[in-house]
Amino acid sequence: MKKLGRPVQSNEHARVRSRTPRAASVDAAGAHGTRHRAQLGVERSIDEFDRRILRALARNARATNVEIAREIGLSEAPCSRRIQRLEREGVIAGYGVRMDPRAVGVGITAFITLTLDMVSAQSADRFAEVVLQSPHVLACYIVSGSAYALLHVAAADIGAYSQFVLDRLRTIPGVKDLNSNFVMRVVKDSGGPTELLELAHGERNSR
């Protein structure tokens, strides 16, 4: 049941999918491309122009193809083809907008470590069902170590948070332990696209 989640979001910012024409094309083509590449075990080769495009989009996903082409030093047509290819192959998985959770009524965010007494098909399926159906769960990861999963959870207030934990998470078959760590202050929440790109490129060049 390895699934679920993007890089965790903080109390300062939450993310939602932007339904721009460019984002809509990624929803279908990008998701298919990601699955296809995963099935084939293929890692796509990214060249310097691709990295420039990705950096430009990480800074401003609303930039037009003309603006990106001008910034990276390509003409518009080949730049547009590269963006479409990156979307199609799943390198670009989607586009988003950042929001201040407090402005939309979200007062609490927390990280929950959850441990199952015994991982069975029933408990794993029930856990996935609760996570996928709940708007409280911003991200979820199955992790190594003593805990089974790490969840990033948001709620309007402590009452709503407690209700979710007690009425939903605690009712999952086999839940042994559940630990809540509330976000007090955010030090960094970049979302990671630029950092991931630079990290991967830097490590590849250092080999």
Distance between CA atoms of residues 63 and 109, nearest Å: 31
Find out if CATH 3.20.20.140 is the number for domain 19-94.
Answer: no
CATH number, domain 102-182, options 3.40.50.20, 3.40.50.12280, 3.30.70.920, 3.40.50.1970: 3.30.70.920
Residue 203: the pLDDT is 52
pLDDT digits (tens, 9 = 90+) for 11-55: 333 333 333 445 544 444 444 444 444 444 445 678 999 999 999
Residue 90: the pLDDT is 92
Question: pLDDT above 70 covers what percent of the chain?
Answer: 73
What's the whole-number mean pLDDT along residues 70-82?
Answer: 96
Q: Are 114 and 165 a contacting pair, CB within 8 Å? A: no
- Which sequence spans correspond to the domains of the chain? 19-94, 102-182
- What's 96-144 look like in SS3? EEEECHHHHCCCEEEEEEEEECCCCHHHHHHHHHHHHHCCCEEEEEECC
Question: pLDDT above 90 covers what percent of the chain?
Answer: 53
Residue 189: the pLDDT is 79
What's the whole-number mean pLDDT along residues 166-187?
Answer: 92
Residue 6: the pLDDT is 39
Q: Does the pLDDT of residue 156 top 80, yes or no? A: yes
Q: Which DSSP letter does residue 183 get?
A: -
Task: Kindly report which listed range (56-65, 163-172, 193-202) carries the lowest average pLDDT score.
Answer: 193-202
Task: Kindly report which listed range (8-17, 91-100, 116-125) carries the lowest average pLDDT score.
Answer: 8-17
Q: Does the pLDDT of residue 188 top 90, yes or no? A: no
